[in-house]
């Protein structure tokens, strides 16, 4: 039976959302590839000037800002999908629950290749989001604000936990699996590391998930306000947000570093504003990109970022699978033997290559390959992957 509720057509997508997804996936690639420098037995790392510059750039513009932005956009996409399904008379809860189960499957596959998978978190929190999908914009604003305001206290409290767990990424016994050329060892290492280094760590399992959920709810709120489709009429608000978020980020950053410099970090046991710094910086960057887009700047660059953003899931998983063949024992086995600049520039190179591939792919196909599989399985219907040529459409209309 053919379903009569379908995903949003590519031509009806909001361009700036895909552009922001493209930017976020760049930061995710840089963060994931850079992490390989720190997987292995503890060793002294001496950075060159170039590496220090790139490390600082990553720290202030990408680290944690990319996955929080991607999470916000996940919440935005959640709202669009829920509205689309509900408007067609279907049960949005049943549909989205099934879609998240499918995402869990993709997350397991991705976790087998990369220990830092975030899809499992999206799948879990996506199910939680179903409890809030009927909330008003006001309610979403209040809940997300409360969560953001409590994060520094939660983080300080959680960081005070004395939690012992198996160190997979620095344990010589398990690092043998990492360097092994055996596929079973490879999958075992990543799945064990995913469990011990993420799932059961309180700082990630609790603090990071509160941050993610706050971002998802805020993204849901933005969709209810039709925010990204009203950028031109909201330019004054965007400019105000740009400067306020910058001021907040700079203030928190300076205070944060002064506390560390003067060794007064005992305050972090009570109040840790790290994620306030991350979120304010993320909002500053996303607002800046939105302003550039609404002002008609960087059209060519943004067209490539938009293509990459339309294939976010495919590009994300492809980055991790490619990294497996570069850094693990099943491939080149580079591991942590290279300077930081190598990991950073490799991530940027892979991302740029993906942008060109995405642009070419979407000129011939309607969806990225993983997006197509996920959509088809979600709707339980095979959608046409290959684009119909304009000449063929004309012939059909004239017959």
Condensed to tens digits (0 to 9), the pLDDT of residues 249-276 reads 999 999 998 998 888 889 999 999 999 9
The pLDDT tens digits of the residues spanning 176-234 come to: 999 999 999 999 999 999 999 888 899 999 999 999 999 999 999 999 999 999 999 99
Distance between CA 311 and CA 353 in Å, rounded? 13
42 pLDDT higher than 80:
no
Residue 396's pLDDT band (boundaries 50, 70, 90)? very low
Average pLDDT over the chain, rounded to an integer = 92
pLDDT score, position 6: 52
- Separation between Cα atoms, residue 320 and residue 326, nearest integer Å: 10
The string of pLDDT tens digits covering residues 157-173 is: 999 888 887 889 999 99
The pTM (predicted TM-score) of the whole model is 0.92
What radius of gyration, in Å, describes the C-alpha atoms of the chain? 22
Please list, in sequence order, all residues whose beta carbon lies within 8 angstroms of the beta carbon of residue 120, skipping any fewer than 6 positions away: 104, 107, 108, 111, 194, 199
């Amino acid at each position: 039976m053919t379903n009569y509720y379908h995903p949003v057509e590519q031509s009806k997508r909001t361009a700036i959302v895909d552009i922001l997804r493209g930017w976020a996936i760049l930061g995710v690639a840089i963060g994931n590839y850079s992490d390989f420098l720190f997987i292995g037995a503890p060793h002294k790392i001496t950075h060159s000037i170039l590496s220090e510059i790139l490390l600082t750039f990553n720290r202030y513009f990408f680290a944690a800002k990319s996955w929080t932005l991607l999470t916000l956009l996940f919440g935005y996409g959640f709202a669009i999908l829920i509205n689309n399904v509900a408007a067609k008379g279907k049960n949005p809860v049943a549909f989205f629950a099934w879609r998240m189960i499918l995402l869990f499957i993709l997350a397991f596959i991705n976790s087998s290749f990369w220990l830092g998978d975030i899809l499992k978190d999206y799948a879990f929190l996506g199910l939680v989001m179903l409890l809030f999908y009927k909330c008003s914009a006001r309610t979403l604003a209040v809940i997300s604000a409360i969560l953001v305001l409590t994060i520094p206290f939660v983080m300080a409290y959680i960081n005070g936990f004395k939690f012992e767990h198996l160190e997979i990424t620095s344990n010589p016994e398990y690092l043998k699996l990492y360097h092994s050329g055996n596929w079973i060892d490879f999958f075992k290492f990543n799945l064990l590391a995913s469990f011990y280094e993420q799932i059961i760590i309180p700082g990630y399992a609790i603090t990071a998930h509160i941050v993610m959920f706050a971002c998802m709810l805020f993204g849901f709120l933005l969709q209810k306000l039709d925010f990204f489709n009203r950028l031109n009429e909201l330019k004054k608000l965007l400019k105000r947000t740009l400067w306020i978020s910058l001021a907040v980020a700079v203030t928190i950053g300076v205070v944060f570093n002064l506390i560390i410099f003067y060794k007064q970090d005992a305050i972090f046991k009570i109040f840790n504003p790290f994620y306030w710094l991350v979120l304010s910086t993320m909002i500053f960057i996303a607002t800046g990109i939105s302003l550039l887009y609404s002002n008609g700047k960087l059209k060519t660059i943004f067209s490539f970022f938009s293509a990459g953003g339309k294939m976010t899931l495919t590009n994300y998983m492809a980055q991790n699978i490619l990294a497996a063949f570069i850094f693990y024992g099943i491939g080149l086995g580079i591991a942590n033997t290279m300077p930081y600049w190598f990991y950073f520039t490799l991530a940027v190179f892979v991302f740029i290559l993906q942008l060109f591939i995405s642009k070419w792919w979407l000129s011939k196909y309607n969806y990225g390959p993983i997006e197509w599989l996920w959509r088809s399985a979600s709707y339980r219907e095979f959608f046409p992957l290959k684009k119909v040529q304009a000449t063929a459409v004309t012939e059909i209309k004239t017959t």
